[in-house]
Structures are given as C-alpha cells and as structure tokens.
Amino acid sequence: MEMNKKGILTVVSGFSGAGKGTLMKELLKKYDGYMLSISATTRKPREGEVDGREYFFKQTEEFEKMIQDGQFIEYANYVGNYYGTPKAYVDEQLAKGKDVILEIEIQGALKVKERFPDTLLLFVTPPAADELERRLAGRGTEDEKTIRNRLCRAYEEAEGVEEYDYLLINDKLEECVDMMHNIIQSEHYRTSRNIELIKNIREELKCFSEGE
C-alpha cells in the first residue's frame, strides 16, 4: 500500500523581479521528478525555438477550436496572440507521477485553482518591496517610470495573495529552491490527496477486527 503517486500541479506566481524564472530553473536542475508545463501559442516561433520544447505552436483557428473543446487549463490573449496551457500534456505528466510546474499570473492562477482544487499555489516574493525595486532597477533595461508602473501593478497583484497556499520569500536562492521542493513533496502527504489509501487501511483493519 502506498501514497498516491499522482503528480501535483503547482502554479507559481509572484512579483515580477521576484526571481521566479531562476527559482524554477534551479529546482529542475537540482531535483528529479519535476516538469515545466509547455504552453501553446499562436505567435510565430522565433529562431531556435522548437515546437513541443519552448511552445506548442498553433494556428489561430486550431487554438480557438481547442478553447471551444475545453482543452486548456487556462488561456489568455496578449497583444493579439493566444497563450494557453494544454490540459492533455499536463494530465499526461501528472499521471506519470511528475510534479508539473506552471508559471502564470495571479488572476489566471486563482481560476486554475477554482477549476482544479488539487492545484498547489505558490507565491514568490522578494524579502521586501525596496528589494523588489532594487531588482527591477538592477535589470538596467527599464527606466524609472516603467519600474514605478511595475510596482503599482505589483500592489494590485498582491490583492489575491491571501488565497495562495504558500508564500516563498526568495532571499537566498539555494534555500528558496530547497524550500520549494520540500513544500511540493510535503503536499504529497496531505490527507486529502490520500483518501483512497485511508479507505484501504480501514478496510483491512475491519477484516482483522471482524476476525476474518
């Protein structure tokens, strides 16, 4: 008798500048058993991008057909291009026991959790807002106005954070990677994910106590 071996879908959100990308990359480098979800998109492939690796590249018509057929966990449209998470790919990985990591923004994440309550929501934040400003400025690609706009949006984003399951403060990267791993692995032991196992143990005990 064993724990439920099914993978867990983890949605990662966080302030831009919180270091989500690096965190996820390091998690996959350091630990086995994780997969990044691959998005479908209608935007054209860039040089070096491979279908099924960076994205599943789709024609608009095909993408809209998939929307109608309910084939996306979530999707959105940015500047005329569709981006979405195909359910089939994620389900396949979860069934194999892979823990699938999906990075989307907060509103999308809350919708995913609503449709799939088993989803684990992680919110990544830098230790403090001034650190966030420092990191955004440190990229050197954005002027002050853009940074202020980002922080303003961050404030609005933080609106739904209370509904996330865990908060990850990305202060020291290595520690944060380990903690992300521990959180996801601990979740496998949640009682609510192992109802079948509990039922089995009770059934066995029942036989014993009835003297079979």
Q: Specify binding-site residues for ATP.
A: 14-21
Q: Within 13 Å and on the Cβ side, how many CA atoms surround 76?
A: 10
Bridge partners (DSSP) of residue 76 are 83
Question: Which of 47, 68, 141, 208 lies at the binding interface for a second copy (CB under 8 A)?
Answer: 208
Query: Judged by CB, which is closer to a second copy: 51, or 163?
Result: 163
Residues contacting a second copy: total by CB under 8 A: 48
Q: What's the closest the beta carbon of residue 111 comes to a second copy, in angstroms? A: 18
Torsion of CA 94, 99, 100, 106, to 10 degrees: 120
> Starting at the edge strand that comes first in sequence, how are the strands of the sheet with 72-78 ordered?
55-57, 39-41, 81-86, 72-78
Question: 149 burial class (0-12, 13-18, 19+ CB within 10 angstroms)?
Answer: exposed
Specify the pairing of strand 72-78 against strand 81-86.
antiparallel
Which structure tokens are listed for 114?
Answer: 């609503």
Positions 141 through 180 that interact with a second copy (CB under 8 A): 148, 151-152, 154-155, 158, 161-169, 179
Query: Judged by CB, which is closer to a second copy: 87, or 181?
Result: 181
The answer to whether 32 contacts a second copy (rule: CB under 8 A) is no
Positions 49 through 88 that interact with a second copy (CB under 8 A): none
Q: What's the closest the beta carbon of residue 151 comes to a second copy, in angstroms? A: 4
Residues written for the chain: 212
Q: What's the closest the beta carbon of residue 136 comes to a second copy, in angstroms? A: 10
Residues in contact with a second copy by the rule CB under 8 A:
1-3, 123, 125, 127-130, 132-133, 148, 151-152, 154-155, 158, 161-169, 179, 182-183, 185-187, 189-191, 194-195, 197-198, 201-202, 204-209, 211
